[in-house]
Structure 1
Amino acid sequence: MNQIRRTDETLLPAGELPTLQHYIDGAFRAPASDETVAVVNPATGDELARVARGTVDEVDTAVAAASAALPAWRETTPKDRADLLFHIAERVEKHAAELSRIESANGGKPAMVADDDVAGTADIFRFSAGAARAFTEQGAGDYVADHTSIILREPLGVIGAIVPWNYPLLMAAWKIAPILAAGNTLVLKPSEQTPLSMLKFMEIVGDLLPAGVMNVVTGRGSVVGNRLSEHPDVAMVALTGSVGSGQAVATAAGDSLKRVHLELGGKAPVVIFSDADLAAAAEGVREAGYWNSGQECGAGTRVLVHESVAEEFTKLLVEQVSSFIVGDPAAGEDVEIGPLVSQGHFDRVVAAIDTAVAEGATVAVGGGAVEGAGYFVAPTVLSGVQPGTAAASEEIFGPVVTVETFSTEDEAVRRANETPYGLSASIWTTDAARAIDLPRKIDAGTVWVNCHLVLANDVPWGGFKGSGYGRDLSLYALQDYSRTKHVQINHARK
């Protein structure tokens, strides 16, 4: 059983809090309403700060600022936009320690997770800077006699971006960098639970951006997110969040027929065949199933292992999971598992474990809440999970990995695909033909072979089915945030 490490130290003294206001038209602005949302430290449950509940009028003001800034911004050259994105990356790197501390204090992230998020944030700005200058289109030519066709790529306009609580800085960067690189302006809504790193980000980089090009309005999704989704001057809404949030955004966006970009939940199957390197697979699930305390939409949380090696694999996985260092991120840089983000989410994860046990699963290690302050759940492995139960099909989004068995390859594929999600999956095998063939049969946007949750900004990320549509990262993200236009010129000479 993992021991929990606690401390009286704090990562975020009151004097290091960011400006707790909306960022609109190039400046922080006091909110119009006195209504606020509490922001807490999930390792202790203590309040860190209170942020404004943005109003419809404040969203409208931010959209108007983004609309006013759009004509000049869209006319900047790719080089000029790239230069600015490189400067943003440099600022992020300069303030990396500060941003990492805020991520840890507000989100409960261990230092290794927060540091990785900040490094990834800087890198996506660097990648997008280069990508802004590397668009390629169909070549100009006479596809009709005496008529020359030219394909232009243009920004969409004002983008509304809605960012989740589990990666408040990194997921924001995944949106901001390609949106700006493609020549759009934006209004961003951070999660009301974890808004602090985005407000600090605006303190750090705001002076680099022309007024109105990027705006941040804090508040609840039902108000701020809904207004962005329905606003007639917003050309597209990009959301990373839950399936329910995606459905709400798509519905609200429907009346204006605006584009919608959705990166939603996942229930990633980890399919382990009898010929796999079981020790490597257990180590891989240790990393991919519990990163960020399992609060990761691509996490490898649903193991499907061949029945002939299930007992051996489960034993190896339990050994791996039992070695985790659990605790307050302020208690040391070697802490690997932090708290869940909130009381409400903690309650949902604990209830999911209880439901799984009631439906026949066996707790191999962990199994529930950790006593004491904060929202800690012990790293858990549930074995003997049956197909069709909630634990096998619904996203738990905590430090919980379930183990099921299969007998044939066809069954493994069928079971891997039977959830409503299709974000990511992995296959573990030493059979070269299987390693090439099976990823084509798995209905997921990313399929790893003999690894899981290995990401790079150069390649696309996004899902199928209930996991949404659209692609983050890579050149595909810039394509999502832009449009093509065909210009045809009649040059016939009579």
Structure 2
Amino acid sequence: MTTETALFTVIRADATPAPSLPAFGQFIGGKFVPSTSTSTVDIVNPATEEVLTQVPAGTAEDVDAAVAAAVAAKDAWAATTPRDRAAVLLKIAEIIEVNRELFETLEAANTGKPPAVAEDDISSAIDTFRFSAGAARAYSTLGADDYAENHTSVIHREPVGVVGVITPWNYPLLMAAWKIAPVLGAGNTLVLKPSEQTPLTTLKLAELIAGEIPAGVVNIVTGPGRVVGNRLSEHPDVDLVAITGSVGSGQKVAAAAAGSVKRVHLELGGKAPVVVFADADLEAAAKGVRSAGFWNGGQECGAACRVLVHESVADKFTELLVREISEITVGTPGAADAEIGSMISKAHYERVLAALDDIRKDGLTIAVGGRAIEGPGYFIEPTVVTNVPAGAGITSNEIFGPVVSVETFSTDEEAVTRANETIYGLAASVWTKDSARSLTVPRKLDFGTVWVNSHLVIATEMPWGGFKGSGYGRDLSSYALDDFSRTKHVMYNRG
């Protein structure tokens, strides 16, 4: 059943600043150049359905030109010292900081994000560049020594060369930063394909940093994944391809990359379980799900979207959760009090609504929300689905929207088994006051990040990445620089 009373309306800002749009063209060899295609892609503000601008629908030839520029620049960039590369990364961070308001406005307009989310994205991007600047100067490797008699071994850390990068639409500038910063810090050059839906802040970043980086070190080609992404993945002169995206997109990238046996870095989807034990602080857990389940409208691969709560406290927890979610504010960019904004596009909006229809067909209870919000923009009510049985489709399908499900368990063993019954392995959380349980349960959960009594707290110093269908490779932390490097062993005969 669904609730009949409309709890949610969209707070619409009276006026928002006009975004400063980037230059038109493909960013290749340090400048914007015309695409080889005359076709364009409309870039839409999903909160208003207005077309903001157009960008080129790039071609394989555009990718070839960008890769050639990256190849031409790679030796000189690889020869720079870590200190010099760090200085460039710090300068990029400074440029974003100085232009913070510009980036926040542009990001919000392109994605429909409310101000708090856009601000957090830009702050995190700045921090990513600053951290990578330091990490680039602090590699730790095996010490040089004699590991065989009369032979001295030295380990060299080298760039992999040219890195192809494919970024998603949910955090456009931040996901670009997660890749650009460690890729450059490790001494590589790159060609980046932003999502065809949300390229504006990435292009604006290229425009603003063009004078601070050598030509060809960073190149950006816009266009559809089936053309630009595929060519980038299969290109023989690309040494590694890194993607943040869906499982399906990751599979296509890995398959295309296999032909040239290049390395692949995959940060893919998730279906994060939130395991709430009977002794947990239920109010804190409900507030945690409100924040982490609906951050960025639930368009987040680590979202707290699947709650498993002990049967003895399920009714109380559900009551608290429904109350929390009923209080969420929905709004357009510029609406200061808004917690969540619109879905990213009409197509994604329709996918989420179709998933809600499937939930109804399955006979599940929608305790709050569950509908589109009337008016312009692709807005969907924050939704809680309750009394979900084990094995229901919602427990395994990544909806990627403002939808959280609640199911119950009876024993610790059942909780762990059910939490792990998913193709994904990106993130999970455990809520308990029991110190022994807080140590043992996370070790049994098959996820790359497990929080205890919190969810979706990210630290730039700590690695982010998953297991199983969520991919492999690590973003953030010094592990990211490891991923974009290669090791070479040189052994000297002293005999």
Q: Displacement of 1:162 after TM fit?
A: 0.2
Deviation digits for residues 97-125 of structure 1 (CA, Å, limit 9, x no counterpart):
10000110000111100100100111000
Who is 1:363 aligned against? 366
Instruction: Report percent identity of matched pairs.
Output: 62
Deviation digits for residues 260-295 of structure 1 (CA, Å, limit 9, x no counterpart):
000000000000001000000001001000000000
**Pick aligned residue for 1:5 from 8, 11, 16:** 11
CA contact (8 A) 1:270 1:428 kept: yes
**Pick aligned residue for 2:343 from 340, 347, 352:** 340
Who is 1:299 aligned against? 303
CA contact (8 A) 1:171 1:240 kept: yes
TM-score by length of 1: 0.98
Gaps of 5+ in 1: none
Who is 2:247 aligned against? 243
CA contact (8 A) 1:40 1:46 kept: yes
More deviation, 237-246/316-325? 316-325
One-letter code aligned to 1:130: G
More deviation, 4-13/458-467? 4-13
One-letter code aligned to 1:26: G
User: Map of 1:4-403 to 2, 5 A cutoff?
Assistant: 4-7=10-13, 9-13=15-19, 16-330=20-334, 332-403=335-406
In structure 2, distance between residues paired with 1:182 and 1:7 = 43
Q: Displacement of 1:7 after TM fit?
A: 4.0
In structure 2, distance between residues paired with 1:410 and 1:329 = 44
In structure 2, distance between residues paired with 1:158 and 1:301 = 36
In structure 1, distance between residues paired with 2:336 and 2:145 = 58
TM-score by length of 2: 0.98
CA contact (8 A) 2:122 2:174 kept: yes
SS of residue in 1 equivalent to 2:74: helix
In structure 2, distance between residues paired with 1:402 and 1:371 = 24
Q: Displacement of 1:2 after TM fit?
A: 2.3
Gaps of 5+ in 2: 1-6
One-letter code aligned to 2:70: A
Report whether the alignment pairs 1:412 with 2:418: no
Deviation digits for residues 290-340 of structure 1 (CA, Å, limit 9, x no counterpart):
00000000000000001111111111111111111111113x222111000
Q: Displacement of 1:220 after TM fit?
A: 0.5
Who is 1:430 aligned against? 433
One-letter code aligned to 2:74: L
Deviation digits for residues 428-450 of structure 1 (CA, Å, limit 9, x no counterpart):
00000000000010000000000
Q: Displacement of 1:416 after TM fit?
A: 0.2
In structure 1, distance between residues paired with 2:76 and 2:398 = 43
Deviation digits for residues 397-423 of structure 1 (CA, Å, limit 9, x no counterpart):
001100011111111000000010000
CA contact (8 A) 1:229 1:237 kept: yes
Report whether the alignment pairs 1:446 with 2:449: yes
Q: Displacement of 1:12 after TM fit?
A: 2.8
In structure 2, distance between residues paired with 1:392 and 1:185 = 40
In structure 2, distance between residues paired with 1:203 and 1:333 = 29
In structure 2, distance between residues paired with 1:97 and 1:417 = 41
SS of residue in 2 equivalent to 1:352: helix
Deviation digits for residues 95-152 of structure 1 (CA, Å, limit 9, x no counterpart):
0010000110000111100100100111000000000010011111111111100011
In structure 1, distance between residues paired with 2:476 and 2:388 = 34
In structure 2, distance between residues paired with 1:478 and 1:444 = 21
Q: Displacement of 1:246 after TM fit?
A: 0.2
One-letter code aligned to 1:100: E
SS of residue in 2 equivalent to 1:329: coil
CA contact (8 A) 2:365 2:387 kept: yes
One-letter code aligned to 1:109: K
In structure 2, distance between residues paired with 1:206 and 1:118 = 19
CA contact (8 A) 1:356 1:389 kept: no
SS of residue in 2 equivalent to 1:229: helix
In structure 1, distance between residues paired with 2:21 and 2:131 = 29
One-letter code aligned to 1:9: A
SS of residue in 2 equivalent to 1:187: strand
Q: Displacement of 1:10 after TM fit?
A: 3.8
CA contact (8 A) 1:11 1:105 kept: no
SS of residue in 2 equivalent to 1:387: coil
- 4+ aligned runs moved over 4 Å, structure 1: none
CA contact (8 A) 1:360 1:386 kept: no
Deviation digits for residues 67-121 of structure 1 (CA, Å, limit 9, x no counterpart):
0000100000000000111111111100001000011000011110010010011
How many positions carry a matched residue from both structures? 489
One-letter code aligned to 2:266: L
One-letter code aligned to 1:51: V
CA gap 1:212/1:461 in 2 versus in 1, 3 angstroms: same
Report whether the alignment pairs 1:485 with 2:488: yes
CA contact (8 A) 2:144 2:154 kept: yes
In structure 2, distance between residues paired with 1:86 and 1:199 = 19
CA contact (8 A) 1:26 1:210 kept: yes
